[in-house]
């Protein structure tokens, strides 16, 4: 019966609930005054003559004050202890106004002690009623689907790792949510063990298995927004043996920037698994080619290009030109950047220019650079998906090689100050067309840099895989795990270097500022990661078990599919061993072989002719002649060429 009453009350419209609260406060105002007089006289008090007017005046004074101070705007079931201060303010103001009215009324025979008694009574009645309602309604609300009247029996029992301020706030927020029910804290501080916070006991990590068994906990929530990535990686490694889903609170920087709220939970970032903390950027290097300059980013809608744009916006360029061949990608990145600019101070004066176009269109490039007087170009436009490029090698030649050539020629013609090419570790001793085309692009900029009469500085930045980029393995694994598997890995031995997109973008900007002309910079990618180990960790941290011979009843199978066309077991960042340090700890300068422009120009002419004629064997011969160590790992895979041959051969 009581449960039905509480459910009925919760489902009432807000206006009716407010009316009930106001009616209660009218009654409390009368009751507080009557009890004050009764206590003072020590007997059952019956008003006389004009004293009845005071019982009318009390609610008339109280209710408008309570409305003004917001007592009827608060949601009672969420009311917190700090709301007590508002109640004290409201009742105190009421008591003072009532005392003034009593004094001005001239009513005789009311003892002065009635006024403080009236104030205390009113405070106890109003405050006590709110906190009673919070207790009375709170439990029943948690069993409802957010007030919709449908019981929610699917709340997950969760353990919060971290009993500090963030953990306590998270537990409090989750208590009123629909999805999670906190059951315990885990903390590394031995002094906190067996203590309680908000009714939840604090345990050491060694008790996690017990907590999972006792509470059927399904998730561990990391509440350590200020912890370093290395520390998070260490904790995640300790949690791996448990079949429990791991999530985390966002970092303090994200909370401070308003990107998320304290209550926001997110999947564990793969960067946390790697345990690599981003290096603090050198602000002078970041600003050198960007601040107050006209900057153009090709491939602005891609994974690297869009993050470069976000970093550039924060550095206050005069103009940022988004050059992109995909209409949808251009629309998306422009919208994202406009949203970012609205949040940032002093960003409104930045001119944002979306330009549809291909880097192979020399006329379009020259017109854009001339019209806007471009000073810095970050060339991120490229076809980079290895198997896709292997199936369409001609298009990769046009885009990756001749697109870079058009950028370089335009920069020279329009006196662009700096051009930074985004390159890849796959350009080193490549086994695929994509890597070979990117190394050829590097060779073009290196050769043109030898022209001492040019005022344009050409710089190349070479790095490995970035986490979360389009076509990368991490989003694929997440999708496969969400579908229930299998998770596909090409080879058990395959390893890769990884870096976050924001760190890579910041390092690209800084490296570009250090270039003297023709420099090839390589980024410190940290330790290589076995892809199969990454897959296993992602499965474990999703609260699932790997299905294999030892665990036939597991959840997710890892299936090996074999190396794809052009794919290597491991990648390198250097062709030779001639590398020197720079002013930045994570940026190195490589001394690579350069082909003089007069020789490279002839190779480009032959490559253009072979590409026009779909002579893929000649293309491979030219690439092999120009690119040191290029050894194709597969046969010619162009899909149109193969189909033509099949039709001809019957």
257: DSSP letter: T
8-state DSSP, 50:
G
pLDDT of 406 strictly over 60: yes
With residue 431 as reference, give the H or E element that holds it.
none
Q: Give the pLDDT confidence of 17-65 residue by residue, as tens digits.
A: 778 778 888 888 888 888 888 887 777 777 777 778 788 888 888 888 8
| pLDDT at position 634 over 90 | no
Per-residue pLDDT of 476-510, as tens digits, reads 888 888 888 899 998 888 888 777 788 888 888 98
Looking at residue 139, what is its pLDDT?
52
Residues whose CB falls within 8 Å of the CB of residue 490, separated by 6 or more in sequence, listed in order:
531, 560, 561, 562, 563, 564, 567
Q: How far apart are CA 551 and CA 563, in angstroms?
A: 26
Evaluate if residue 152 carries a pLDDT over 50: no
Residues 102, 514: Cα–Cα separation, whole Å: 80
| pLDDT for residue 149 | 41
> Residue 337 has which token pair?
């950047």
472 touches 466 (CB < 8 A)? yes
**pLDDT-based confidence at residue 170 (cuts at 50, 70, 90):** confident
Give the range among 145-154, 368-377, 384-393 with minimum mean pLDDT.
145-154
pLDDT at position 588 over 80: yes
Q: Which residues contact 6 (CB under 8 A, 6 or more apart)?
A: 136, 137, 140
Give me the pLDDT at residue 469, please. 62
Q: Which CATH class is domain 156-268?
A: alpha beta
Pick the most confident of 107-111, 368-372, 483-487.
Answer: 368-372
Strand partners, 74: none
Band (pLDDT 50/70/90 cuts) for residue 11 is: low
Separation CA 323–CA 358 (nearest Å)? 8
- Find how far residue 636's CA is from the centre of its chain: 40
Q: Which of 149-153, 158-162, 176-180, 500-504 has the lowest mean pLDDT?
A: 149-153
pLDDT value at residue 81: 54
pLDDT value at 73 more than 80: no
At 351-368, the pLDDT tens digits run: 999 999 999 999 999 999
Query: Which pLDDT value is given to residue 115?
Result: 83
CA distance 608 to 440: 13
Establish whether the linkage from the previous residue to 187 is cis, with ω within 30° of 0.
no
Q: What is the predicted pLDDT for the residue at 275? A: 56
Give the contacts of 608 (CB within 8 A, at least 6 positions apart): 402
Per-residue pLDDT reduced to its tens digit, 387-398: 999 999 999 999
User: What is the model's pLDDT at position 82?
Assistant: 56
Lowest mean pLDDT among 451-465, 505-519, 578-592: 578-592
Sheet strands side by side (includes 519-523): 351-356, 319-324, 294-298, 376-379, 418-424, 457-463, 519-523, 587-590, 579-581
The rounded distance, in Å, linking the Cα atoms of 310 and 303 is 11
Length of the chain counted residue by residue: 650
Please, what is the average pLDDT of the chain?
A: 81
| 290, pLDDT greater than 70 | yes
pLDDT at 258: 43
Q: For the chain, what percent of residues have pLDDT higher than 70? A: 83
Q: How far is CA 625 from CA 103, 439, 602, 630, in A?
A: 104, 12, 12, 8
Q: What percent of the chain has pLDDT over 90?
A: 27
Distance of CA 529 to the CA centre of its chain: 22
Considering only 92-96, 156-160, 292-296, 564-568, which range has the smallest mean pLDDT? Answer: 564-568
Q: Which residue has better confidence, 581 or 145?
A: 581
Q: Is the pLDDT of residue 386 over 50?
A: yes
Fold match flag (156-268 vs 291-473+504-526+573-626): yes
Residue 401 has pLDDT above 90, yes or no: yes
* Contact call for residues 294 and 373 (beta carbons, < 8 A): yes
Least confident window among 40-49, 329-338, 364-373, 508-517:
40-49
Distance from the first to the final alpha carbon of the chain: 82
Domain layout of the chain by residue ranges: 2-142, 156-268, 291-473+504-526+573-626
pLDDT per residue over 224-265, tens digit each? 777 777 777 778 777 777 777 887 765 544 444 444 444 455
- Model pLDDT for residues 415-468, shown as the tens digit of each residue: 999 999 999 888 888 989 999 999 999 999 999 998 767 789 999 998 877 766
| pLDDT score at 607 | 96
Region 339-356 average pLDDT: 86
* Cα-to-chain-centroid distance, residue 635: 40
The backbone torsions φ and ψ at residue 115, rounded to the nearest 5 degrees and listed phi first, read -65, -50
- Domain 291-473+504-526+573-626 sits in CATH at 3.40.50.720
Question: What pLDDT, in 10s, does the model give residues 117-133?
Answer: 888 888 888 877 776 77
Tell me what pLDDT residue 145 has.
Answer: 43
């Amino acid at each position: 019966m009581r449960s039905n009453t509480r459910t009925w009350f919760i489902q009432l419209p807000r206006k009716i609930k407010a009316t009930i609260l106001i009616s209660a406060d009218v009654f409390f105002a009368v009751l507080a005054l009557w009890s004050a007089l009764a206590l003072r006289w020590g007997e059952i008090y019956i008003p006389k003559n004009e004293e009845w007017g005071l019982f009318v005046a009390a609610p008339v004074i109280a209710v408008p004050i309570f409305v003004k101070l917001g007592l009827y705007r608060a949601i009672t079931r969420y009311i917190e202890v700090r709301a007590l201060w508002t109640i004290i303010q409201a009742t105190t103001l009421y008591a003072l106004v009532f005392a003034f009215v009593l004094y001005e009324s001239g009513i005789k025979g009311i003892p002065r002690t009635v006024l403080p008694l009236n104030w205390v009574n009113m405070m106890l009645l109003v405050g006590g009623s709110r906190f009673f309602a919070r207790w009375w309604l709170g439990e029943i609300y948690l069993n409802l689907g957010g007030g919709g009247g449908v019981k929610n029996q699917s709340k997950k029992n969760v353990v919060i790792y971290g009993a500090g301020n963030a953990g306590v706030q998270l537990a409090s927020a989750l208590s009123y949510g629909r999805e999670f029910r906190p059951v315990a804290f885990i903390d590394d501080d031995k002094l906190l063990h067996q203590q309680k916070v908000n009714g939840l006991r604090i345990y050491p990590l060694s008790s996690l298995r017990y907590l999972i068994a006792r509470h059927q906990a399904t998730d561990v929530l990391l509440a350590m927004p200020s912890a370093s990535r290395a520390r998070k990686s260490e904790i995640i490694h300790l949690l791996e043996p448990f079949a429990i889903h791991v999530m985390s609170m966002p970092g303090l920087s994200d909370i401070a920037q308003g990107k998320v709220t304290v209550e926001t939970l997110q999947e564990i970032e793969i960067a946390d698994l790697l345990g690599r903390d981003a290096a603090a950027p050198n602000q002078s290097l970041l600003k050198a080619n960007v601040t107050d300059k006209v900057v153009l980013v090709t491939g602005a809608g891609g994974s690297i290009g869009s993050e470069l744009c976000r970093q550039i916006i924060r550095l206050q360029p005069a103009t940022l030109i988004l050059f992109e061949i995909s209409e949808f990608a251009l629309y998306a990145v422009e919208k994202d950047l406009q949203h970012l600019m609205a949040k940032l101070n002093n960003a409104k004066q930045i001119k944002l220019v979306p330009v549809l176009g291909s880097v192979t269109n020399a006329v379009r490039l020259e017109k854009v650079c001339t019209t806007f007087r471009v000073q810095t170009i970050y060339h991120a436009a490229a076809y980079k998906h290895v198997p896709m490029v292997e199936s369409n090698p001609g298009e990769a030649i046009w885009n990756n090689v001749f697109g870079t050539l058009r950028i370089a020629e335009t920069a020279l013609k329009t006196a662009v100050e700096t051009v930074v090419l985004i390159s890849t570790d796959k350009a080193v001793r490549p086994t695929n067309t994509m890597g070979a085309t990117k190394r050829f692009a590097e060779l073009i900029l290196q050769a043109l840099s030898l022209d001492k009469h040019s005022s344009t500085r050409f710089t190349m930045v070479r790095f490995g895989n970035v986490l979360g980029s389009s076509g990368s393995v991490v989003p694929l694994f997440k999708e496969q795990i969400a579908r229930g598997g299998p998770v596909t890995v090409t080879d058990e031995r395959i390893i890769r270097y990884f870096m976050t997109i924001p760190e890579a973008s910041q390092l690209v900007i800084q490296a570009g500022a250090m270039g003297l002309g023709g420099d090839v910079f390589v980024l410190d990618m940290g330790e290589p990661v076995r892809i199969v180990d990454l897959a296993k960790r992602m499965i474990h941290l999703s609260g699932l078990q790997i299905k294999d011979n030892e665990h036939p009843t597991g959840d997710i199978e890892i299936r090996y599919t074999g190396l794809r066309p052009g794919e290597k077991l491991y990648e390198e960042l250097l062709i030779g061993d001639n590398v020197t340090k720079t002013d930045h700890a994570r940026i190195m300068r490589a001394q690579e072989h350069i082909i003089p422009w007069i020789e490279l120009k002839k190779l480009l002419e032959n490559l253009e002719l072979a590409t026009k004629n779909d002579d893929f064997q000649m293309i491979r011969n030219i690439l092999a002649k120009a690119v040191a160590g290029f050894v194709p790992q597969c046969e010619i895979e162009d899909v149109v060429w193969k189909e033509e041959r099949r039709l001809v051969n019957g």
